[in-house]
Amino acid sequence: MTNEELAKHVVRHLRERGHMAWLVGGCVRDLLLGRMPKDFDVATSAQPVELLRLFPKAGQVGAHFGVVLVHEAGAHVEVATFRSDFNYSDGRRPETVQFETDPAQDAIRRDFTINALFLDPDTDEVLDYVGGRADLHAGVIRAIGDPIRRFQEDHLRLLRAVRFAARLGFEIEPATCAAIRELAPAIATISVERVRDEISRILTEGGARRGFELLDATGLLHEIMPEVEAMKGVEQPPEFHPEGDVWTHTMIMLEGLHEPSLELALGVLLHDVGKPGTFRVADRIRFDGHVEKGLEVGHRLLVRLRFPTAVIAQVEALIANHMRFKDVPKMRESKLKRFLRMPAFEEHLALHRLDCLSSHGSLTNYDFAQTRLREVPPEQLRPVPLITGRDLIAAGCRPGPAFASALREAEDAQLEGRVTGKEEALQIALQNFYSTTLATK
């Protein structure tokens, strides 16, 4: 059973028991736009006690707000009682709710007009109390009622407005946009995790460039990611970057993303985040050490926004290695193979491709790397080592700093085809081990 099928079943079951019930919110918005919703929500006049009686396997996910989660055959639907909200003292959730029997009251407490529509799944009848259909047709994100009040109630709505505008390709209505600019500092009151999740959605749901341009225009970028804002106006050498400054280059790259992983999207956003702090003019504009600076700045930003450790590690790998593509045609075979076998190398390739297409336009090194990946069999890219540390110990070597160098030298020879057997590899490793040991005495 799909979520949509379950939602229709829930609506019919509630109506058969004498209750009003409608599809509501984002699923209605998406259906009217011809998009397939991921999730379906139902609003009803039935109160929570009745909902739990009618759906005994349902779980309460928001008892205070009259929300239950109905599960069946792998599908799930949130069902909420019509309500009014009062006293948003913390800028996130109402302290008091009042259950209603009139869907109009439920509509006017919601965030944006396009998210306050009700749909009968059988007849396609739409209830619109706030002008949401007109705004859908016009492509407008408009707060319901007084936008200042709507955003003061829930500060996360500041980011949600940007996300919807970016994903749908809509404009933010002027009064709504002005309210976001006025209240932008209030985003600091929202938990870092919720802010992080909204930023992640802006980066991955489509319209990432539009999203970040809106974050900038509304002042939210300054509050959340000043390190990214700092890219604006940082000139680049025109012979390599005819497109313009670091901000413009990054925005063009974001525009080129198509259903990216979060790691790739963040890598694109932050790959040049070290340039503002390393800008200098010598014989030409230079950014000496911008990769190292980018790792420092990017790490600080990602940790502050509490991205998962694995995400941070991959984004840092993308930042650290994005300049290495310029050297791939002249890399030693062993170095090249190590480069090509990095974890999630397809993301490194994707970032480099966008980097090139958003600047000088040459894909020579991208094509070279792609060709070598196709040519080199996996067993040659990641061969079983001919020797291990145990072999060195058996040969009389003591573990220590020279160990890693010796093993790497043997693997280099193996990757380059200079050795094919264990004894040859061991001899190369031992020569390296003793020469390294003597050099350090």
Per-residue pLDDT of the chain (441 residues), as tens digits, is 899 999 999 999 999 999 999 999 999 999 999 999 989 999 999 999 999 899 988 887 766 678 899 988 889 999 999 998 877 766 677 777 888 999 999 999 999 999 999 999 999 999 999 999 999 999 999 999 999 999 999 999 999 999 999 999 999 999 999 999 999 999 999 999 999 999 999 999 999 999 999 999 999 999 999 999 999 999 999 988 999 999 999 999 999 999 999 999 999 999 999 999 999 998 898 999 999 999 999 999 999 999 999 999 999 999 999 999 999 999 999 999 999 999 999 999 999 999 999 999 999 999 999 999 999 999 999 999 999 999 999 999 888 888 999 999 999 999 999 999 999 999 999 999 888 887 665
Given the candidates 3.40.630.30, 3.40.640.10, 3.30.460.10, 3.40.718.10, the CATH classification of the domain at 3-134 is 3.30.460.10
Whole-number pLDDT of residue 437: 80
Whole-number pLDDT of residue 65: 77
Query: Which H or E run contains 427?
Result: helix 422-439
Task: Using the CB atoms, write b or e for 114-130: b if 16+ within 10 Å.
Answer: bbbbbbebeeeebbbbb
The Cα–Cα gap between 407 and 412 comes to 9
One-letter amino acid of 346: E
Whole-number pLDDT of residue 441: 56
Collapsed DSSP state (helix, strand, coil) of residue 24 = strand
- 3-134 against 226-381: fold identical: no
Contacts of 227 (CB under 8 A, 6+ apart): 273, 276, 297, 298, 300, 301
Report H helices in 325-400. Answer: 333-340, 345-357, 364-375, 378-381, 389-394
Tokens of 275: 């340039």
Residue 139 Ramachandran class (φ > 0 left, ψ -120 to 50 alpha, else beta): left
Whole-number pLDDT of residue 439: 64
Whole-number pLDDT of residue 93: 73
DSSP secondary structure string, 94-145? Answer: -SEEEE-S-HHHHHHTSSBGGG--EE-TTT--EE-SSSHHHHHHHTEE-BSS
Contacts of 337 (CB under 8 A, 6+ apart): 376, 380, 381, 415
How is domain 139-224 classified at the CATH fold level? Hydrophobic Seed Protein (1.10.110)
The Cα–Cα gap between 170 and 81 comes to 30
Whole-number pLDDT of residue 90: 67
Task: Using the CB atoms, write b or e for 204-220: b if 16+ within 10 Å.
Answer: bbbbbbbbbbbbbebbb
Beta strands 118-119 and 126-127, pairing class = antiparallel
Contacts of 385 (CB under 8 A, 6+ apart): 407, 410, 411, 414
C-alpha pair distances (Å), 394 with each of 20, 264, 389: 80, 44, 9
Q: What is the CATH number of domain 226-381?
A: 1.10.3210
pTM of the model: 0.92
Residue 36: count of CB within 10 angstroms of its CB: 9
Q: What are the backbone dihedrals phi and psi of residue 280, each rounded to the nearest 5 degrees, phi first?
A: -155, 160
Whole-number pLDDT of residue 91: 67
Domain layout of the chain by residue ranges? 3-134, 139-224, 226-381, 389-439
